[in-house]
Amino acid sequence: MDGDLLVSHAHTAAIMEGATGYLKIDLAALGRNYRKLLSMLAPVRAGAVVKADAYGLGAVRVAKTLYGQGCRHFFVAQFVEAVRLRPALAQDAQIFVLNGLQPGNEIACAEMGVVPVLNSLAQWRQWSAAARGLKRCLPAVLQFDTGMSRLGFPPEERAELAAALRDGGNVEILFIMSHLASADEVGCEQNGEQLAEMAGIAEAFPGFDISFANSGGVFLGEVYHGVLARPGIALYGGAPNADEKNPMEPVVSLDVAVVQTRTVPSGTKVGYGGAHVTQRETRLATIAAGYADGLPRSLGDRGAVFYQGIRLPIVGRVSMDSITIDISALPESTLTLGSLVEVLGPHQTLEDIARDADTISYEILTGLGDRYHRQYR
């Protein structure tokens, strides 16, 4: 594995745009993850959730790669993301805005051919009014709240929505959808409750295609699949559910350079607040990434990085731009200025670091900063 790292020596590192961290994004692995989900879903189709810059990996690169794999449905969260992505994709790719529109964005959205997900009667009315104003029929998706209380038509708006649909309102509904709150927990009863709620909605609003499953939902079984799945995290190599071995292929790896090494005696304070005090003579290295690069402060005195498979614990608090690690486990002089250590890679998965940081893989991915040299392959 280490053998195929394109960046593995300090002198190679130095010539790359002044960056001190190297984020590798494996687009081939992304494509294989998409195809794996497709094979589980067939004949159901899979879109791709590329919100938040494709979970930090680069929405344009990711979406173009998946388009090449046959993906034609791309979901972003906010209209601004659709504005950025629309010119990069061919016209037969549809872009859906999960949060729907803020008032005032309707005409721009219609003109760009972007499809809003309507979550409420308020959004419905605005979109319908825009359609009548343009004397056109405009496409939309309807999202229903089936128990998450976040986005989507609440139960009390369904009757009025049904009436509005009978009137048409110049809106063409492409499909209806809902989102699972606990799809990453296979045994969670909320999944079944939401599925039942969606079945009721499908009866009340007959004739529409259904989109239901996110990554976790794909793995909950066929009844959750609808006709169009909306995976995000699984495409990017994150585990679709919490309990089982991750079936997806890693897409991201991250190596960070050493800035300085030192040996300190027992009783030495390390980092802000002197929060860590060495218990013995310790060799330390400071690496050039911190919480501003998306490595959370909660990793302080908890997380680790790796060097050739050897665990190097984080000592003291995580700084904005650096982290200090204990390298006593390595033979002296192994790490020097410019050496690279593994933050994400064969020895430390997204889930590992998320667990140590007391968060989820999604937050780690979307937080990865823009000071890394990004290498797509």
Ligand X SMILES: *Cc1c(COP(=O)(O)O)cnc(C)c1O
What are the catalytic residues?
51, 272
Cβ at position 215, least distance to ligand X in Å: 3
How far apart are alpha carbons 48 and 253 in whole angstroms?
21
The candidate with the shortest Cα–Cα distance to 186, out of 210, 211, 215, is: 215
62 is a contact residue toward ligand X (CB under 6 A): no
Identify which of residues 169 and 231 has a Cβ nearer to ligand X in the complex: 231
73 is a contact residue toward ligand X (CB under 6 A): no
**Position among 45, 61, 225, 230 found at the interface with ligand X (CB under 6 A):** 230
Tell me which stretch binds ligand X (CB under 6 A): 124-132, 193-201, 208-216, 249-257. 208-216
Nearest position to ligand X, beta carbon: 232
1 is in an annotated binding site: no
Report yes or no: 227 and 210 within 8 Å, Cβ to Cβ.
yes
Cβ at position 251, least distance to ligand X in Å: 13
Q: How many residues bind ligand X (CB under 6 A)?
A: 12
User: Which two three-digit tokens encode residue 167?
Assistant: 């009137």
Q: 3-class SS at 375?
A: strand
How far apart are alpha carbons 90 and 79 in whole angstroms?
18
**Position among 19, 29, 38, 49 found at the interface with ligand X (CB under 6 A):** 49
Q: In whole angstroms, what separates CA 313 from the centre of its chain?
A: 26
**Position among 232, 250, 294, 316 found at the interface with ligand X (CB under 6 A):** 232
How far apart are alpha carbons 351 and 290 in whole angstroms?
18
Identify which of residues 233 and 312 has a Cβ nearer to ligand X in the complex: 233
**Position among 13, 89, 98, 314 found at the interface with ligand X (CB under 6 A):** 98
150 is in an annotated binding site: yes
| Number of Cβ within a 10 Å radius of residue 172 | 13
Residue ranges in 210-229 that form contacts with ligand X under rule CB under 6 A: 214-216
Bond from prior residue into 250 cis (ω within 30 degrees of 0): no
3-state helix, strand, coil in the chain (%, to 5): 35, 25, 45
Identify which of residues 202 and 234 has a Cβ nearer to ligand X in the complex: 234
Cβ at position 342, least distance to ligand X in Å: 24
Pairing of strands 228-229, 210-211: unpaired
Cβ at position 229, least distance to ligand X in Å: 9
198 is a contact residue toward ligand X (CB under 6 A): no
Amino acid identity of residue 54, one-letter, is: A
How far apart are alpha carbons 209 and 228 in whole angstroms?
8
Contact residues toward ligand X (CB under 6 A) are: 49, 51, 98, 179, 214-216, 230-234
Residue ranges of the annotated binding site are 150, 320
